Amino acid sequence: MARDIPHIPGHVAVIMDGNGRWARSRGFPRLEGHRRGAARAREVVEWAADAGVRCISLFAFSTENWARPPREVRGLMSLLATMLPREVPAMNENGVRLRVLGAVEALPERARRVLDEALEATRGNERIDLVLCLNYGGRQEILAGVRNACREAMRADDPDAVLAALDAVNFRQWLWCADLPEVDLLIRTGGERRISNFYLWDAAYAELFFSDRYWPDFSREDFLAALDDYARRERRFGRTSEQVRKAR
């Protein structure tokens, strides 16, 4: 059921942070935090779909997370490989279409295989897009975009003209996120106030929401509070408040 608030963000992106601290504070190994975090992720997608959000991105593994202890990296990869296939039936029931963002070719073979299978199995679903951000880095994405744009220019008769025609709007076509809606609301749990290399291009005008809650504790009420907060924001994109109100 759609909620009765005026401005539902079309695309919510979430930095699911605090799994490790959640586990440590209870005397559990960090991986238990990741397990609980994955279960929470599944619920949040449901809450988002119920609220009328059309696309939700979940930051599951950053390009920088390879620097963690090998055991934790292996644990995260195997969590993905075991959990994702189990989620597919529920995703199909709930109209969740899986998408991935990031340099997935560098993931272990098993993880790539389950991702491919889940992408294929859910491709016809239309209620909400779930974008799993895996081996994702915003700087890496922008670099890849620059390379794509340069390749296009090199193929053209007048490379300088192609590069000169690039602007802050049309450059997005070269990014990994090109066919996703722009991020409207970026949520980070776990108490840190930083972007950690997530969606750098879209962060330019996304609304930011920080929660002190560790990700496994992030509740439906917390999520709805973020949506309510977003609904009260005035997105001005450089204009004045008067201009924005007049344009409504």
Active site residues: 17, 65
- 140 binds ligand IPE per the rule CB under 6 A: no
- 218 binds ligand IPE per the rule CB under 6 A: no
Q: Which residue is nearest to ligand IPE (CB)?
A: 20
- Which one of residues 59, 174, 176, 199 is an interface residue with ligand IPE (CB under 6 A)? 59
Spatial neighbors of 51 by CB under 8 A, at least 6 apart, are 2, 3, 8, 224, 227
Partner interacting with residue 92 (select from ligand IPE, Mg ion, none; CB below 5-8 Å by kind)? none
Structural element, H or E, at residue 112: helix 109-122
Number of residues that this document lists for the chain: 248
Q: What SS3 state is found at 181?
A: coil
Partner interacting with residue 16 (select from ligand IPE, Mg ion, none; CB below 5-8 Å by kind)? ligand IPE
Distance CA 169, CA 162 (A): 14
Partner interacting with residue 60 (select from ligand IPE, Mg ion, none; CB below 5-8 Å by kind)? ligand IPE
What residues form DSSP beta bridges with 206?
none
- Which one of residues 9, 11, 17, 197 is an interface residue with Mg ion (CB under 5 A)? 17
- 60 binds ligand IPE per the rule CB under 6 A: yes
What residues form DSSP beta bridges with 212?
none
Q: Which is nearer to ligand IPE, 149 or 177 (CB)?
A: 177
Distance CA 57, CA 148 (A): 23
Q: Which is nearer to ligand IPE, 158 or 192 (CB)?
A: 192
Partner interacting with residue 116 (select from ligand IPE, Mg ion, none; CB below 5-8 Å by kind)? none
Which residues of the chain form beta strands (DSSP E)? 11-15, 55-62, 96-101, 128-136, 185-188, 207-210
Residue with tokens 């993880």: 111
Q: Which residues bind ligand IPE (CB under 6 A)?
A: 15-21, 59-62, 65, 76, 190, 192, 194, 196
Q: Which residues bind Mg ion (CB under 5 A)?
A: 17
